[in-house]
């Protein structure tokens, strides 16, 4: 039987993690939960984020998930330990896999991190990278998420904004960094654009990609060994407009999303 993997996010960004999971483990069955009625999590307290994330984790466990991927940087940064202690499933977040990948490829032992304000304020990546022996500089990039959700992933305005952020982070203490960690699940959609504005010698680490590889390693399924697998199922749950989830979610997943169910987990 294929594994049933629950993927949780406050909204749409976690679909970039799901996209990488589908590439690495296409034969798994997936349950994706987007807490779209209660986003953004970034403006909430750690207590509230933990409460929302735990209720969502319980929902996915009750629906049959056999492991849980926290595809939300804010929830991973603020509530990973609380989520792990609240359910009986194995849990993987998005922060440690990204930090570990950066440590694998960095020669200068110095990295830059771009993320949302909440994730930067938590210093989750800074702590994870330090545990891997990597010095880091973090930069909050609050304008990038709304630009991605607007669909402006290759717009001149987005490139100009990204250039400003990148120039600031690499000119403010990260001048020796040879890795840039994308600490927000919206940012993989900007990877081609970021490649144009990030210094040529700097490698880009996509936490979504690293997380999918960590899940494959946990399940002991090599990516190359899943190429011939029969495709599994995907069922999505949203706490707000199904139509908006279908429209925006397709951009993040890179393919149309059909099976979406509106749920109310606060009742």
Encode pLDDT of 126-161 as tens digits: 999 999 999 999 999 999 999 999 999 999 999 999
Which residues have CB under 8 Å from 47's CB, separation 6+? none
Tell me the helix, strand and coil percentages in the chain, rounded to 5: 45, 20, 35
In 63-206, alpha helices (H): 73-86, 95-105, 117-122, 124-131, 144-149, 156-170, 191-197
Which residues have CB under 8 Å from 224's CB, separation 6+? none
Q: Considering the chain, what percentage of its residues have pLDDT values greater than 90?
A: 88
| CA 249 – CA 15 distance, rounded (Å) | 7
pLDDT tens digits, 157-215: 999 999 999 999 998 778 899 999 999 999 999 999 999 999 999 999 999 999 999 99
Q: Which CATH number fits domain 4-93+211-262: 3.30.300.30, 3.40.50.300, 3.40.50.1860, 3.40.190.10?
A: 3.40.50.1860
Q: What is the pTM of this model?
A: 0.94
Catalytic residues: 72, 184
| Residue 227 scores a pLDDT above 60 | no
| CA 76 – CA 93 distance, rounded (Å) | 5
What CATH number labels 95-207?
3.40.50.1860
Q: Where are the domains of the chain?
A: 4-93+211-262, 95-207
DSSP 224: G
Whole-number average pLDDT of the chain: 94
Under the banding of pLDDT at 50, 70 and 90, the label for residue 266 is: confident
4-93+211-262 and 95-207 share one fold: yes
């Amino acid at each position: 039987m294929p594994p049933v993997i629950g993927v949780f996010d406050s909204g749409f960004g976690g679909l970039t993690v799901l996209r990488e999971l589908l590439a690495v483990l296409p034969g798994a069955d997936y349950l994706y939960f987007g807490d779209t009625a209660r986003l953004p999590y970034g403006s909430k307290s750690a207590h509230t984020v933990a409460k929302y994330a735990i209720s969502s984790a319980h929902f996915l466990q009750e629906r049959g998930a056999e492991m849980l991927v926290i595809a939300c940087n804010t929830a991973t940064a603020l509530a990973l330990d609380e989520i792990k202690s609240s359910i009986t499933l194995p849990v993987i977040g998005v922060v440690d896999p990204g930090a570990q990948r950066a440590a694998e490829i960095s020669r200068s032992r110095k990295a830059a991190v771009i993320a949302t304000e909440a994730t930067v304020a938590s210093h989750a990546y800074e702590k994870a990278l330090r545990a891997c022996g990597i010095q880091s500089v973090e930069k909050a990039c609050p304008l990038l998420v709304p630009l991605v959700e607007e669909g402006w992933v290759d717009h001149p305005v987005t490139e100009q904004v990204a250039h400003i952020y990148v120039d600031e982070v690499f000119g403010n203490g990260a001048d020796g960094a040879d890795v840039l960690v994308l600490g927000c699940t919206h940012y993989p959609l900007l990877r081609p654009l970021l490649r144009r504005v990030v210094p040529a010698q700097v490698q880009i680490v996509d936490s979504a990609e690293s997380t999918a590889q960590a899940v494959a390693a946990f399940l002991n399924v090599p990516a190359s060994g899943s190429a011939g697998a029969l495709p599994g199922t995907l069922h999505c749950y949203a706490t707000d407009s199904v139509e908006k989830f279908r429209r925006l979610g397709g951009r993040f997943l890179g393919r149309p999303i059909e099976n979406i169910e509106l749920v109310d987990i606060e009742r």
